[in-house]
Each structure stands twice: as structure tokens, then as C-alpha cells.
Structure 1
Amino acid sequence: MKKYERLARDIEELVDAGTLAPGDRLPSVREAVSRRGVSASTVFEAYYLLESRGLIEARPRSGYFVKSPRRRSPEPHAPLPREESTSVAVYDRVQEALGSIRDRDVVPMGSAFPSPRLFPLHRLARAGASAMRRLEPDELLQDISPGNEELRRQLALRYAANGTAVGTDEVIVTNGAMEALNLCLRVATRPGDVVAIESPAFYGCLQALEWHQLKAVEISTHPRDGVQLDSLQHALERHPIKACWFMPNFQNPTGSLMPVDKKQALVELLAQHGVPLIEDDAYAELYFGARRPPPAKAFDRQGLVMHCSSFSKCLAPGYRIGWAAAGRFAREVERLKLMSTLSVAVPSQVAVLDYLLHAAYDKHLRGLRAALAERQAQALEAIERHFPAGTRVTRPEGGYLLWVELPDGVDGLQLQRLALARRISLTPGHLFSTAPHFHNFVRLNYGHPAPGQLEGALRTLGRLVHELAAEAGGSG
């Protein structure tokens, strides 16, 4: 844990204990520096993190103050997954559960994307038009695979700016992150192999394993700090694991964030066993703290980490620009890309490239993060007000997803069906595992509904949960 995270945690504990009450003024930066023996930048980063969580607020020329009283629901439990490996069969369940999300009349709390209204789509369209006018005819065929060279160079530069060494020749541009992940999975495994995944796991990961006829072994995953390394160590000793597919940063569905030291230990553990890591890092730019969390890739010294991401969640939904920084597997991934989908559409590549070069991408990201942090605070406050006792919910430090454990006896699939009748979608927990561990869990997207929809939708969901909890109590 970094110094600013430790300071933020200490202040949060004081607020939860009532030692710091609503309206109380926090020590000034100078006072905090003197008392804690840390730098001013550490204090600012801690205060920024607490502000992003909705715990404190800055008042012009007055300082930082505790914002408001709050009832803190505990974080969800982490059920122990079964230890044996198993075949995966989730496709039909996922299709049935997610079919309603495309209905525009439904409040999309079951969506896997933030609202497209949060993105600079008009500016992207202008960037694409400008780039295509400048494009020479011969350039249309130059970068079939691995993709536009300048775009790959810009991606490598962004890795370097965040402290991760990635060469341009290691980057392969793909049709979104899912193609990158699937290509990496194919180079690391063969049908019948065993892959270690999180529990709960992103249902797209489960679908990919089903498609490639792979077996899954689920690894215990804490809703706050991610994959539990002792559980992974045990699985590596018991199973012939050929690859791991993990999301160390803002995992879907929990939003968990692996601490930096755990990421390093994860990479070292897998290197000892010679097992590649397929790192799904689609949400990395959506952090609420002062700095972008490093990927596990930052600690890779053997080329075993295949880092996959895209612009779909942070800039250009629908443009399908993803990539894999595939380490020692880069040429195999490139070959598979060439043999399968050949290339990514040139207009999408040059539009994103033009935006990176000539528009204020990082300014857009700062605005996007602020908007999502504000919506998360609104969603958490609404859940505290409207959901019954016994509800547990995560408080991620980034992204736009909440993992909610419902009171005993409340079934997430039943809640989904009742909510859909009231034009609200959500994602039931049973989609995120090969086993029935998460029947009383749901995933909620607070980043897609319009701000005016969020409060009303959560009020309705809370009422439904109250009713289901009462029925469960009465039947017991």
C-alpha cells in the first residue's frame, strides 16, 4: 500500500468511527505534512482519493471537510470456489440474461459499457474525417497486421509514460479487447487445457473458454484486492494450468484492484511455474486516484504477460480498437490475427490515432473519471438509503461497476426478472461462475444510466429487494 493510500485509509477509518464528524475540517496540507512526516504531494493524493470516493469535499479558500454522514454497507463475501477444474457452458445463460440490454426504453444498469454520451464522439468523427482525407491510397494496405505502425508506437509511448516497457513490435492492434484476449488464449492453450480464472469471473472470459473447449479452475478473488495468491498457488500445485486470465485492475464484476505488491508477486509466482498471464486491463484508464495503477505487465521480465486493452471503455465505443502487448507470444498472436480477421478497419485506426495526436485525450480522461466518480458516490448513497439491511456492496477505486450481495434468500435472477418488468436491466450473479456460488449477487452499472435515471432506478430496485427479502423471511 502506498503512503497516500495508507493516509486515506486512516482518515476513512476516523470518519467511520465517528472521530471525524460531518462538517469537520481536515488538517491543512501543511499540518498533515508536519504530523505524518510525508510530502505535500502524498497529502494531496490522499485528499483527492477521498474526494473521489465522496467522503470529503473541498471548499474554496477553506480546505477539506468531511462531507456527510453515511451508513456503510459491508463489502460482499468471497465464497470459496470449488477446487476441481470443470468444463464451461454459459453461452445460453448469458444470451438470455443480456438480451434486454439493447432495448433503449430500459434503464441499462446491466450494460457492460459506460454511457456513450460520456465520450467525445463528434470530435472523434472529425478526427476520422481529417485523417482519411490525408491518407494516401497505398497506406490502406500497409498495416494489414499487426496494425497501423504509428498507432502502435503511440500505444508503446503511453505504456512508457506509465512506467511499463513495451516495444512497438510487441503491440498488435485488434478488433476490440475481446479479440486480443481470444487470440492470446489461443496461442497459450489447446482444447481440453485448464485455465485459471477469477471467481467471480467476467462472463466474456467464461464464454471464451467455452468456445475454445477449455476447462476452468476458479481462483478465490477478494472483492477489494483481487486474486488471492495462496488460492492460486494451491491450484498451480494441483492442476496442469496452461494459462491464467485475470483482471488485476478494476475487475469485472467486483471492481477489485490488486495492490501493487500483489501484482508483482503474482507475476513472480507465474514465472516460477512458467505459466503465461492473459491480463485483461480494459478499465485501467478509469481510476479515481491520483495515478494510474500499473498493470501486472509492468513486472514482467520473461515476456509471459500478454496485456490486453482497448479504447472501447474510455474513448471510442463501437470503433473496436483494441490491442495486445503480447510479450514473447507477439509473433504468434500476429500470425493468428492475420489468419483469422486479417486486420482492423483502417478508418477506425486512423481516427483514434488522430485523436491521440491532436486532441486533448488526457483532458477527456480526467473529465470522464470525475463524472464516473461522482456517479459512483450517487449510486452508493442511493443503495444505502433504499436497499435493506443485509445488503453488501463494493466501493471500487475506478471503473463503473458495483458488485452487490443481496440479503439471504434474495435471488439475483428473480430480481432481474422483476426489474425488467419495470424497465430496468441488471446482471445476475449466476453469469459470473461455472458453479452456483453467486445466486444472491447482482452487478450494477452506474456509468451508463443518465444521472437523472440513477436515483429512481436504484429506489425501485431497493423496493424490490425489500419485497423479496420479506418473502424469503416469511417462507422461512
Structure 2
Amino acid sequence: MGVLYNQVADRLQALIKDGVYREGDRLPGVRVLSKQFGVSISTVLQAHQTLEARGYLQPRERSGYFVRLPAVDAPEPVMQRHRNRPVPVTAREMTLELCADAQKLMVPLATAIPHADYLPLRQIQQSTLWAARRGLETLDYAFPGKESFRRQIAQRMAAVGVQVTLDDVLVTNGAQEAIILGLRAVTQPGDIVAVESPSFPGILQALEVVGLRALEIPTHPSDGLSLEGLELALEQWPLKACVVVTNHSNPMGARMPDERKKQLVSMLAAAGVPLIEDDIYGDLYHTGERPRPAKAFDRADNVIYCSSFSKTISPGLRLGWMLPGRYMASARQQKYFSNLATSSIPQLAVAHFLEQGGYDRYLRSAREHYREATERMRAAVARSFPVGTAVSRPQGGFVLWVQLPEGVSGTRVYHRARAENINVAPGLMFSISDKFESCLRLNGGNPWTERIDQAIARLGALAHEELGQGG
């Protein structure tokens, strides 16, 4: 069905582009289009929603769908090239502000948290009830992780080209803990670690917890970490690790091509620098096949793989895992000393959900939801924001990186938006050296509503006002 309604949407879009339906025209009714294309009415309605997300249709209550040509597509942000030095990481207060209880009352465009409507709530509730009835199996310390859960992880890793056994898997409290354990396994306080720029704030926070210095490496919005920048850093600085989100990075949504992943793995192995790979968005690709992780190209056992189900099944489960490889002994020790084990019931519940095949069925619809949601938000930003605004084109995940025109302060837009109960993430959060003052990150992982539509329009108006005031 997903393929069919996309085909109908593509055919209608072609008719609009060819001028058969002009801007302002009302499309024929759903029953007419159902007969015209030989599909069900529900398929036509899904095609309409897809075209609305792409910016080609506008619904009018009790009147139908009308053609609206999308705004001129916004370009991608440019990769910012800077000569950087290692810097100690300190937390930004605004990072904590975005997670405060007060933000739950705001329009949720800041935190990269999936909306409850896009999560498999009913299925995971059923699996949790099943797990809770397992008796003594739920009461022990599940260290290094429940066998059933680690078996499912090993099977899923094999499907993306990574051959591991159950004993290679260490279960963690989310990917954040996995990254921290990986860092502690390969570094000492004061060491230098290479990170993407812009970088996910959680990674910067992990470096701060371990007492490390960050060296920011320029990152392309489509291809990911600059290998040329990393090569220069390896020549100039005694790097002890490199942390990269290889698939659908946060905040840019970049997916590193396989060839560059191979080069990244080879370059770091030759330098003796461990790669800590965060693949938390790997399952949320929008089209095509599941991208392989860099770990699939690891022949030197130099990649520490980290992931979780926080972006797919539920952030509240806090259920992640890592493949520490030759650093397993140190990672296990750090895990045991810090919190003994990860809770048993979530592991049993998710293992049951995976065994029943529910996860893959859910992912098929979730990917389509996120693709449409980010396309719709991207089109709305292009319509509402000033000329010169650039917006990322993520191939997966659900966040958008917005680069405002020169002279427009993303931080000022952030503060003014919060005063109007619109929560966005300012660019300063994604760097330790104030590089992205003119940027914002938006969460596209929400069902489209009039409230969100109005919030994007208001953000655009604020950006226009800031531009008119000269920043």
C-alpha cells in the first residue's frame, strides 16, 4: 500500500508540474480519482497527504484539496570549515532548558524525541505485560544482558553485515551510556577526542562526563564527517578516539556513503585511534535499504558500535547496547561498577517484540511517517523563512538543520520563540566554540497539525524580523 499511494502521488505531482492542474485549481474528488487510478479511496487520501507534505496541495475544510506550488526549494547548508583546537567540554544551560518540564507545554520542535503517535505503544505494552509474567526471570541482575535480548541483537547485526555472538553484546541504559563506556574504555581524562561539527549535544555531554577535550571536525550535511579534516587532525593532534554518527546524524541528518565509511575505518585503524560509532538512527532510513554501519567494514576490531531503541520503540525504555570488541573487558568492568546492570523487564519485552516480528512491521510505517513529516516541515521552512535560509535534506531520522541568512541570530530567534511557547534548539548547543550562532535544529518527528504549521510560520516571521533589524 505504501508503494501504491506514493505512485499515485507521483502521477498527480507530474500532472501539476506539467500544468494540467494549475495553482489554485481544485483536484477532482477522491471518488473520481479512485476510479481514474484504479485504487481505493484510502489510497487516494494517502496520496493527497503525501502531496500536502511535499508542498503541492493545500486542504480546505469542506472544499477539498487545492493545488499549491511549493516554494523555491531551500539549498543545503554549507559545510563550515574552521581551524580548530582541542577544547574542554562544559555543559550549556540551554541544553537542560530544552528538557525541563515547562517545555512539554510548548510546541515541541526542540528535542529529538519521536512523537507517541509514531511509536508502537500497543505492541510494546503487550510485550511488557508478557515480560512481567516471567517470574524469577525478571528479578535477577541482567549482566551483561538478557540472553534472549542479546540473541536478537546478534541476529539484527548479522543482517547489516556485522557477525557477532551473544557474548560480544553488552546491554546498556541507552546509547548515551554505551558511548560513555566506550570513551572510558579507550581514553584517560584530558585526552583529545575528534567529534563531528555540528555535533549531537549528548556526545559533547559524554565527553564532559569523562573529562575529555573535544576537537571539532567539519561535517558535510549529506556525506558526514570530513575525512580530509580528520586526516589533518590526525597529523596535528594526539587523538585517542573519534566519535561519529555515521547514519542520519543529529543534527544534520547526514549519511556517510559506504566508500567513505570504509575510508574512515581504515584511516583510524592505521592511526591506532578507536572509532566509537553511534548508529541510533540507522533503522530510520527514509527510502531504499538499511545503510550499513561502519562496523561492517571493521577488519581490525577497532570500531566500538553503539545503538539503542530510544528513537524507534521508546525513549523511556532506556535500552541500548554496544559491541566493544577488544575493549569488552574494560567496558564490562565500567558498566558493572557504574550501575551493575540494565533492567530485565525492558530487555525481555523488547526481545519478545523482536521475536514476534512486530518491530520490522512497525518500522515500515514509521519510516514513511518520518519521511513525510520531514518533507512537509522542510517545505514549510522554505515558504516561511527569509531568502537565503538553507535547510538540510536528511535521508533518514527526523531532524532538520536550518542555517539562517547571514546576520540573523539563531539564539535570538530561540529566546523570542520560547517566550511565545515555541521550543526550538539553537545552533550554539551543537558546538563547544560558538560556531553555529545562525543555526537552528527542528524536530520533524511530529504529526503535522495547525499548531505546528503556525509555529513554523511564526519562526519564519521572527527570522524576517531579525533580518530586518540587522541581527
What corresponds to 1:290 in structure 2? Answer: 288
Q: Within 2, Cα distance between the matches of 1:196 and 1:53?
A: 37
- 1:166-185 paired onto structure 2 within 5 Å: 166-185=164-183
Mapped pair 1:81 → 2:55: no
Q: CA deviation at 1:163?
A: 2.0
Which runs of structure 2 are paired with 1:390-469 in the superposition (5 Å)?
A: 390-448=388-446, 450-469=448-467
For 1:85-234, list aligned pairs within 5 A: 85-96=86-97, 98-100=98-100, 102-133=102-133, 135-137=134-136, 140-141=139-140, 144-234=142-232
Change (3 A) 1:85 1:52: farther
Q: Deviations over 1:132-151 (max 9, x none)?
A: 21x2415632x631100111
List per-residue Cα deviations over 1:151-199 (Å, max 9, x = no partner). 1011110111122222221111111110111111110100010000011
3-state SS in 2 of match to 1:309: strand
Paired AA for residue 131 in structure 1: A
**8 Å contact from structure 1 (residues 101, 425) kept in 2:** no
> What is the aligned residue count?
421
Letter in 2 for 1:104: K
Deviates more, 1:110-119 or 1:224-233: 110-119
Cα distance, 1:388–1:100 mapped onto 2, change above 3 Å: farther
Work out the CA distance in 2 between the residues paired with 1:268 and 1:382.
Answer: 41
State the SS of the aligned residue for 1:220: strand
Find the counterpart in structure 1 of residue 251 from structure 2: 253
- How far residue 82 of structure 1 moved from its aligned partner, in angstroms, is 3.1
The offset of 1:254, in angstroms, is 0.7
Instruction: Note the residue ranges of structure 1 that are not aligned, 5 or more in a row.
Output: 1-11, 13-18, 26-49, 58-66
- Displacement of 1:295: 0.5
Distance in 1 separating the partners of 2:408 and 2:116: 32
Could you tell which deviates more after superposition, 331-340 or 170-179? 331-340
Q: Which moved more, 1:86-95 or 1:150-159?
A: 86-95
Q: Match for 2:17 among 16, 22, 27?
A: 22
* Deviation at residue 224 of structure 1 after TM alignment: 1.2
Which residue is 1:33 aligned to? none
Cα displacement (A) at 1:112: 1.8
Match of 1:47 in 2: none
CA shift for structure 1 position 21: 7.9
CA distance in 2, matches of 1:56, 1:158: 38
> 1:280-322: per-residue Cα shift (whole Å, max 9, x none)?
1111111012101101010011111111110110112201110
- Matches of 1:171 and 1:250, distance apart in 2: 23
Question: Which residue of structure 2 aligns with residue 373 of structure 1?
Answer: 371
- Which AA in structure 2 matches 1:107? V
Kindly state the Cα deviation for residue 220 of structure 1 after the two structures are TM-superposed: 1.1
Post-superposition offset of 1:94? 2.1
Q: Secondary structure at the match of 2:282?
A: coil
Alignment partner, residue 385 of structure 1: 383
User: What is the percent sequence identity of the aligned residues?
Assistant: 41
Amino acid of the structure 2 residue aligned with 1:323? W
Match of 1:32 in 2: none
Q: Residues 352-389 of structure 1, C-alpha deviation per residue, up to 9 Å, x if partnerless?
A: 11111125211100100111111111111111111110
> Does the residue aligned with 1:285 lie in a helix, a strand or coil?
helix
Q: What is the one-letter code of the residue matched to 1:137?
A: L
C-alpha distance after superposition, 1:411-457 (max 9, x if no partner):
11110111111111000001111112100000000113654433111
Distance 1:277 1:353 in 2: 28
1: CA distance, partners of 2:95 / 2:55: 36
1:334 CA displacement: 1.4
| Cα distance between partner residues in 2 of 1:259 and 1:54 | 25
Question: 2:317 is paired with a residue of what secondary structure?
Answer: coil
The Cα offsets for residues 227-248 of structure 1, whole Å up to 9 and x where unpaired, read as 1111100000110100001111
Distance 2:188 2:447 in 1: 40
For residues 387 and 320 of structure 1, do their structure 2 counterparts lie closer, same or farther at Cα, with a shift above 3 Å needed?
A: same
Asked if the contact 2:138/2:345 (under 8 Å) is kept, the reply is: no
- What secondary structure, in the 3-state scheme, does the structure 2 residue paired with 1:104 have? helix
Instruction: Check the 8 A contact 2:71/2:379 in 1, yes or no.
Output: yes
User: For the residues of structure 1 that align with 2:323 and 2:266, how far apart are their CA atoms?
Assistant: 19
SS in 2 for 1:160: helix
CA pair 463-100 structure 1, distance change in 2 beyond 3 A:
farther
- Distance in 2 (CA, whole Å) between partners of 1:52 and 1:237 is 49
Distance 1:452 1:209, change over 3 A: same
Structure 2: gaps (5+ residues): 1-9, 21-49, 58-67
| 8 Å contact kept, 1:303–1:328 | yes
> Once the 2 structures are TM-superposed, how far is the Cα of residue 70 of structure 1 from its aligned partner?
4.6
Aligned residues: CA RMSD = 2.5
- How does 1:32-51 map onto structure 2 within 5 Å? none
Amino acid at match of 2:246: P
Equivalent-residue separation in structure 1 for 2:269 and 2:255 (angstroms): 21
Over 3 Å counting, the alpha-carbon distance change for 1:21 and 1:268 in structure 2 is farther
Between 82-91 and 373-382, report the one with greater CA deviation: 82-91
| Partner Cα distance (1:88, 1:338) in 2 | 26
What is the Cα deviation at residue 54 of structure 1? 4.5
What TM-score, normalized to structure 2? Answer: 0.84
Q: Could you tell me which residue of structure 1 aligns to residue 26 of structure 2? A: none
Change (3 A) 1:359 1:340: same
CA–CA separation in structure 2 for the residues paired with 1:431 and 1:91? 7
